[in-house]
C-alpha cells in the first residue's frame, strides 16, 4: 500500500525531464543543413516583415505593452497555445511516447488540466482588474511601492531563469539541427528577440507567436496524418505494429510510471500547476484582448489547440516507434537514436518527408524558441518600466514617452544579458532553471495574485512579507538542494534534501501572507480591506476596466 | 464612481450574478480536479484497468480512450463555462452596468 501511495504521488507530478527545455550535455554537431537554414531564413524575413508592420501600428504605451487590447480571443488563444507548444513539449513528449508509450499521454494530461482552472478562477478577474502587468492586479488596493517592487522582482527572477534555459537550449538545438556554431546561434536568437520586441512591441510578439503556432500545428498535423496513412488509417494497426516492434512490447499500452523521490515529485507537480498561473509572460497575454469575454474565449481556444496538439504528439510518438525505431539509418553503432530520444520527432519528419520536410520541422523548432524568448523579454521589460520605473521610482508621475523609452532600453539590456548568460552557461546543466522559474512563479507571483483577487483580509504587510519569503525560500532551498549544491557546485552532500522545493515554499508563502495579514491591525490595513468591495465589483462586472483602444 | 459601486452591491441582479458564477466556476473546477485525480488514482491503484484490452482481438487498451477522453473533457468544460459566461452572465452584467451608467 505504501509503495502504491508513492507511485500515486509521483504520478501527480509530470516528469522533470520533459521540462528540461534545455538540451544539455554534449551535443554532436550535425552537417550544415541547407534546406533547414533556407526555410529558417524565410521565417525570419516574414517575422521581420510582421515587426515592421507592427511598428507602424504601435504608438502608445498601450500598443507597446498590450497590443492596444485589440487582439481577438481566437488570436490570443493561438498565441497562448504557442507559448505552451514549445520546442521542448513537441520534441520532449514525442520522445517520451517513443520510449515509454502510454506514459507520454499521462504527462500531456498533467500539463493540460491547469488551463480550465485558470479559466474558471483567474482569467476574467485578471482582465477586469489589470492593464499591462499582473502587478496592476496585485497592487490594486494595496500600497504600490512594496507590492510592485515585489512583483517586479518575482517577474524578473522568473524571466531570467527561463531565458537562460531557453538561450542555452536554443544554442544546443541549433547546433544539433542546423550544424551552426553555438555562439552564432545564441547571438542570432538574442538579436532577433531584441528586434521583435524593440520595434514591434506586444503586437509583433503576438503575431510572431501566432505564425509559429500555426506552422507547428500544420507540421505536426501533417506528420500525424502521414503516420495514419502509413497504417492505412487503421488506429488498431498503428498500436498493434508498435507493440510488435517495441522492445517493451505490450507494456507501452499501459501506465508504467517512474519513481524517484515523492516529495520532489509532488513539489514539481505543484510548481507546474500553480506556476503556470504565475508566469508573467502568460498572464500578460490576458491584457492584449478587449474585455473579459475575449479573455474567456482565448482560454477556450488555447485549451482546444493544446489538447489537439498533445493528441498529435501521441500519434507522432507511436509513428516514430514504427518508422524511426525500426530504421537502422537513424541509429548509431550502439543502436541508440542519433542525437538522443529527443530527436525522435525530428527523425520522423525525415522519414516522412525527406530532407525538405526535415528542414521545415527544424526551422519551426527554432522559430518556437524565438517566439517564446520574445514574450519573456517583453514581460521582463514591462516589469522594469511599468512597475519599477513608472510606479515605484517615479510614483506614477511619468509621461508615456519616458516610460516607453525605459522599456526599450531595458529590452536591449536584456538582450545583451541573455546573450552573455547564454554563452556563460554553455556547458552548465541548466535543465533545473525552468523548474526553478516555475517554483518561484508558484511561490511568489501566484500567492499574492490569487489572494489579492479572492481574499478580503489581505494587507500590504502580509503580501510583502509572505511574497518575499516565498521568493527567497524557493531560491535558497533550490540552491542548497541536490541539483545545484551537489551537481553544479560540486559539494558532497545537499543541505536541503529535495530536488524541488515548491511544496515547502508555496506553504511558507501562503501561511506567512495569511498570518501576517491577520495580525495586521494598522489603520492602513483597515483601509485596504475596505477597498476590497469596490475591487470585487469591478472584478465581477468589469466596471472601470481598461478597454480596447480604438484608433 | 463610489456611488456606482454601492449601487451595484445592492442590486439583487449582482447578487444573482455572483452566486451563479461562483457556483459554476467552483463546480467546474471541482469536476476537473476530481476527474483528473480519479484518473491518477486509477493509474496508482489499478493500473491493470487502464492496461486491459478493450476487446480480445485488439491491442488497444482502455487507457487510450480514457486518456484522450480526459483531454476532450477539459476542453468541453471550458466550452460550457465560456458559453454560459459569454451569454447569461454577460447579459446580467450588461443590465447591471447599463442602469449604473445611465
Find which of A73, A84, A104, A116 to mutate to test the B interface (most B CBs within 10 Å of its CB).
A116
CATH number, residue A159? 1.20.1730.10
pLDDT-derived band at A18, boundaries 50, 70, 90:
very low
pLDDT-derived band at B2, boundaries 50, 70, 90:
low
The range of the structural domain enclosing residue A412 comes to 29-430
Mean of all residue pLDDT scores within chain A: 87
Q: Is residue A355 assigned to a domain?
A: yes
Q: Which residues of B touch A537 (CB under 8 A)?
A: 5, 8-9, 14
Q: Is residue A147 assigned to a domain?
A: yes
pLDDT-derived band at A1, boundaries 50, 70, 90:
very low
Tell me the per-residue pLDDT of A179-225, one tens digit each, with 9 for 90 and over. 788 899 899 999 999 999 999 999 999 999 999 999 999 999 999 99
Query: SS3 for A407?
Result: helix
Q: Is the pLDDT of residue A477 over 90?
A: yes
Contact A307 B32 (CB under 8 A): no
Question: How near does any CA of chain A get to the CA of B69, in Å?
Answer: 10
Q: Is the pLDDT of residue A89 over 80?
A: no
pLDDT for the residue numbered B21: 94
ipTM of the complex: 0.94
pLDDT for the residue numbered A470: 97
Question: How near does any CA of chain A get to the CA of B82, in Å?
Answer: 6
Q: Is the pLDDT of residue A310 over 90?
A: yes
| Alpha-carbon span A283 to A277, nearest angstrom | 7
Nearest CA in chain A to B77: A116
Q: Is residue A262 assigned to a domain?
A: yes
Q: Is residue A530 assigned to a domain?
A: no
Q: Is the pLDDT of residue A87 over 80?
A: no
Contact B29 A11 (CB under 8 A): no
Question: How near does any CA of chain A get to the CA of B45, in Å?
Answer: 6
pLDDT-derived band at A3, boundaries 50, 70, 90:
very low
Query: SS3 for A133?
Result: coil
pLDDT-derived band at A238, boundaries 50, 70, 90:
very high
Overall average pLDDT of the A442-447 stretch: 95
Say which residue, B1 or A433, is predicted with more confidence: A433
Q: Which residues of B touch A257 (CB under 8 A)?
A: 43, 47
**In sequence order, what DSSP letters do the residues of B13-81 get, joined into one string?**
HHHHHHHHHHHHHHHHHHHHHHHHHHHHHHHHH-HHHHTSBSSTT---BTHHHHHHHHHHHHHHHHHHH
Contact A8 B41 (CB under 8 A): yes
Contact A543 B14 (CB under 8 A): no
Question: How near does any CA of chain B get to the CA of A30, in Å?
Answer: 36
Residues 6 or more apart in contact with residue A115 via CB below 8 angstroms: A276, A299, A302, A303, A306, B74, B78
A476: how many CB neighbours lie within 10 A of its CB? 14
Question: How near does any CA of chain A get to the CA of B20, in Å?
Answer: 12
Please report the number of interchain residue pairs, chain A to chain B, with beta-carbon separation below 8 angstroms: 148
Q: Is residue A255 assigned to a domain?
A: yes
Tell me the per-residue pLDDT of A134-158, one tens digit each, with 9 for 90 and over. 999 999 999 999 999 999 999 999 9
C-alpha cell at A381: 521589460
Confirm if A361 and A219 have CB atoms less than 8 A apart.
yes
Q: Does A455 touch chain B (CB under 8 A)?
A: no
Q: Which of residues 84-103 of A touch B (CB under 8 A)?
A: 102
Find which of A258, A300, A539 to mutate to test the B interface (most B CBs within 10 Å of its CB).
A300
pLDDT-derived band at B1, boundaries 50, 70, 90:
low
Q: Is residue A526 assigned to a domain?
A: no
- From the list A120, A307, A540, the residue facing B29 with the nearest CB is A120
pLDDT for the residue numbered A28: 59
Query: Whose grid coordinates read 516529495?
Result: A263
Question: How near does any CA of chain B get to the CA of A236, in Å?
Answer: 7
Q: What percent of chain A has pLDDT over 90?
A: 59
| Range name among A1-5, A122-126, A292-296, A517-521 with the lowest pLDDT average | A1-5
Smallest Cα–Cα separation from B101: which of A364, A506, A299, A541?
A: A541
* Dihedral angle sign, alpha carbons of residues A391, A394, A396, A398: negative
For chain A, the domain total comes to 1
Q: Is A226 left (phi over 0), alpha (psi -120 to 50) or beta?
A: alpha
Q: Is the pLDDT of residue A551 over 50?
A: no
Overall average pLDDT of the A50-75 stretch: 92
* C-alpha distance from residue A256 to each of A105, A237, A259, A343, B69 (Å): 11, 22, 10, 22, 19
Contact A253 B60 (CB under 8 A): yes
pLDDT-derived band at A15, boundaries 50, 70, 90:
very low
Q: Which of residues 244-283 of A touch B (CB under 8 A)?
A: 250, 253-255, 257
Strand partners, A331: A337
Overall average pLDDT of the A452-474 stretch: 96
Q: Which residues of B touch A322 (CB under 8 A)?
A: none
Contact B14 A540 (CB under 8 A): yes
Contact A543 B97 (CB under 8 A): yes
Nearest CA in chain A to B30: A117
Q: Is the pLDDT of residue A2 over 70?
A: no
Find which of B27, B46, B59, B62 to mutate to test the A interface (most A CBs within 10 Å of its CB).
B59
pLDDT-derived band at A259, boundaries 50, 70, 90:
very low
Find which of B36, B71, B81, B83 to mutate to test the A interface (most A CBs within 10 Å of its CB).
B71
Contact A304 B100 (CB under 8 A): no
pLDDT for the residue numbered A474: 95
Tell me the per-residue pLDDT of B70-97, one tens digit each, with 9 for 90 and over. 999 999 999 999 999 999 999 999 999 8
Amino acid at each position: 500500500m505504501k509503495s502504491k501511495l508513492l507511485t500515486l504521488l509521483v504520478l501527480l507530478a509530470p516528469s522533470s525531464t520533459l521540462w528540461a527545455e534545455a538540451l544539455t550535455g554534449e551535443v554532436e554537431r550535425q552537417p550544415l543543413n541547407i534546406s533547414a537554414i533556407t526555410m529558417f531564413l524565410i521565417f525570419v524575413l516574414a517575422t521581420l516583415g510582421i515587426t515592421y508592420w507592427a511598428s507602424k501600428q504601435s504608438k502608445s504605451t498601450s500598443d507597446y505593452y498590450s497590443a492596444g487590447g485589440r487582439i481577438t480571443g481566437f488570436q490570443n488563444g493561438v498565441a497562448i497555445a504557442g507559448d505552451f507548444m514549445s520546442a521542448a513539449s513537441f520534441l520532449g513528449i514525442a520522445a517520451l511516447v517513443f520510449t515509454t508509450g502510454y506514459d507520454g499521454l499521462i504527462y500531456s494530461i498533467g500539463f493540460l488540466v491547469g488551463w480550465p482552472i485558470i479559466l474558471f478562477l483567474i482569467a476574467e478577474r485578471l482582465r477586469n482588474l489589470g492593464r499591462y502587468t499582473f502587478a496592476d492586479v496585485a497592487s490594486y488596493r494595496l500600497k504600490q511601492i512594496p507590492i510592485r517592487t515585489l512583483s517586479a522582482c518575482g517577474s524578473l527572477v522568473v524571466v531570467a531563469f527561463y531565458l537562460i534555459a531557453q538561450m542555452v537550449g536554443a544554442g544546443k538545438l541549433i547546433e544539433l539541427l542546423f550544424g551552426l556554431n553555438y555562439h552564432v546561434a545564441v547571438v542570432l536568437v538574442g538579436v532577433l528577440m531584441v528586434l521583435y520586441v524593440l520595434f514591434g512591441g506586444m503586437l509583433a510578439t503576438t503575431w510572431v507567436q501566432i505564425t509559429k503556432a500555426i506552422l507547428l500545428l500544420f507540421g505536426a498535423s501533417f506528420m500525424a496524418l502521414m503516420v495514419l496513412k502509413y497504417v492505412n488509417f487503421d488506429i488498431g494497426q498503428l498500436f498493434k505494429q508498435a507493440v510488435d516492434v517495441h522492445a517493451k512490447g505490450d507494456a507501452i499500452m499501459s501506465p508504467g510510471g517512474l519513481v524517484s523521490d515523492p516529495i520532489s515529485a509532488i513539489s514539481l507537480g505543484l510548481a507546474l500547476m500553480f506556476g503556470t498561473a504565475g508566469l508573467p509572460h502568460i498572464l500578460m497575454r490576458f491584457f492584449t484582448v478587449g474585455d473579459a469575454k475575449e479573455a474567456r474565449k482565448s482560454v477556450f481556444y488555447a485549451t482546444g489547440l493544446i489538447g489537439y496538439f498533445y493528441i498529435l504528439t501521441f500519434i507522432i510518438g507511436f509513428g516514430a516507434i514504427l518508422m524511426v525505431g525500426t530504421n537502422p539509418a537513424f541509429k548509431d553503432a550502439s543502436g541508440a537514436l542519433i542525437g538522443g530520444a529527443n530527436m525522435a520527432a525530428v527523425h520522423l519528419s525525415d522519414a516522412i518527408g525527406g530532407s525538405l520536410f526535415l528542414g521545415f520541422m527544424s526551422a519551426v523548432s527554432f522559430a518556437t524558441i524565438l517566439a517564446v524568448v520574445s514574450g519573456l523579454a517583453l514581460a521582463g521589460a514591462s516589469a522594469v518600466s511599468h512597475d519599477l520605473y513608472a510606479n515605484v521610482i517615479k510614483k506614477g508621475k511619468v509621461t508615456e514617452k519616458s516610460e516607453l523609452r525605459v522599456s526599450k532600453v531595458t529590452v536591449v539590456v536584456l538582450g545583451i544579458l541573455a546573450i552573455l548568460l547564454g554563452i556563460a552557461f554553455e556547458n552548465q546543466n541548466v535543465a533545473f532553471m525552468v523548474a526553478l522559474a516555475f517554483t518561484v512563479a508558484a511561490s511568489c507571483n501566484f500567492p499574492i495574485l490569487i489572494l489579492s483577487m479572492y481574499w478580503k483580509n489581505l494587507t500590504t504587510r502580509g503580501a510583502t512579507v509572505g511574497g518575499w519569503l516565498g521568493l527567497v525560500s524557493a531560491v535558497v532551498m533550490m540552491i542548497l538542494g541536490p541539483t545545484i549544491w551537489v551537481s553544479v557546485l560540486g559539494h558532497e552532500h545537499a543541505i536541503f534534501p529535495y530536488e524541488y522545493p515548491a511544496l515547502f515554499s508555496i506553504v511558507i508563502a501562503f501561511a506567512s501572507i495569511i498570518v501576517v495579514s491577520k495580525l495586521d491591525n494598522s489603520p492602513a490595513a483597515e483601509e485596504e480591506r475596505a477597498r476590497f468591495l469596490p475591487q470585487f465589483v469591478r472584478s465581477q462586472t468589469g466596471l472601470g476596466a481598461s478597454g480596447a483602444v480604438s484608433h | 464612481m463610489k456611488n456606482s459601486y454601492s449601487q451595484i452591491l445592492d442590486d439583487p441582479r449582482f447578487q444573482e450574478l455572483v452566486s451563479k458564477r461562483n457556483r459554476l466556476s467552483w463546480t467546474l473546477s471541482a469536476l476537473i480536479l476530481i476527474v483528473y485525480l480519479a484518473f491518477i488514482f486509477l493509474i496508482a491503484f489499478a493500473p491493470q484497468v487502464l492496461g486491459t484490452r478493450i476487446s480480445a482481438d485488439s491491442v488497444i487498451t482502455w487507457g487510450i480512450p480514457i486518456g484522450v477522453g480526459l483531454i476532450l473533457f477539459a476542453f468541453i468544460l471550458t466550452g460550457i463555462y465560456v458559453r454560459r459566461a459569454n451569454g447569461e452572465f454577460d447579459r446580467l452584467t450588461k443590465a447591471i452596468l447599463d442602469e449604473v451608467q445611465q
